Amino acid sequence: MKQTNDVKKNLKNGVVTQEMFGSAIFSYNKRAKNMRDKEREWRDYYRGQRYLYDKYDNEGQCRAKKEEYYSRKADCLKFVKPTALHIVERERTCREWDEYLNEWDYDTYTFYEYYLLYKIGTFSFHSPITKEEYDALKDTLPTEELYDFETHGEDIEELMSVQTANKILNGLKSGQYALIAA
């Protein structure tokens, strides 16, 4: 996504619209997911290579970038209030060796993940929270259970530039820009 004239004009006037702000957070979020996927690719690649190792720490570099983008997303979300809570039910299979039967035993157990939902402009975002945070908020926000919750990255050509997103975030932090309501 190229920086449009509207974005330039709004920044020049010291305002950030909900749509601009949502686009900045979306850019951070999708870039973080791209790094998450790249980190997994490197980890899987080197697990399958007996005689190779990650000399340049590609996996670690991807992890660091992922965490940096998620940190910026979290900084952005401090400027808005969550609109709902989401609970995601997941299942995981564990494999244990059963010495009595002399074979592998597979157990499946269910666990829950908790998220705050934020709606900004036409965008919506999830931010993970702990069970304790969920318990503290469950009486104040509507709660919804999700069953299919999978996220993916995005082509960076379709995203707001990191420089523009940083400009928006830093301007909001410093008070140079004001976030206006829809």
Confirm whether 3 is domain-assigned: no
Confirm whether 169 is domain-assigned: yes
Confirm whether 164 is domain-assigned: yes
- In angstroms, rounded to a whole number, what is the distance separating the alpha carbons of residues 153 and 32? 8
Q: Is the pLDDT confidence value at 10 over 80? A: yes
Q: For the residues 160-166, what does the mean pLDDT come to?
A: 95
Q: Is the pLDDT confidence value at 136 over 60? A: yes
Residues in the chain: 182
Q: Is the pLDDT confidence value at 182 over 70? A: no
Q: Which of 53, 85, 76 is nearest to 169 (CA)?
A: 76
What tens digit of pLDDT does each residue of 51-107 get?
A: 888 889 999 999 999 999 999 999 999 999 999 999 998 888 888 877 777 777 888
Confirm whether 2 is domain-assigned: no
Confirm whether 78 is domain-assigned: yes
What tens digit of pLDDT does each residue of 107-127 get?
A: 888 889 999 999 999 999 999
- In angstroms, rounded to a whole number, what is the distance separating the alpha carbons of residues 39 and 25? 21
User: What local confidence, expressed as pLDDT, does residue 154 receive?
Assistant: 87
- In angstroms, rounded to a whole number, what is the distance separating the alpha carbons of residues 155 and 57? 24
**Secondary structure of 121-172 in HEC code, one letter for each residue:** CCEEEEEEECHHHHHHHCCCCCEEEECCCCCCCCCHHHCCCHHHHHHHHHHH
Full-model pTM: 0.86
Confirm whether 81 is domain-assigned: yes
What total of structural domains would you count in the chain?
1
Domain with 88, as residue range(s), is 8-152+159-179
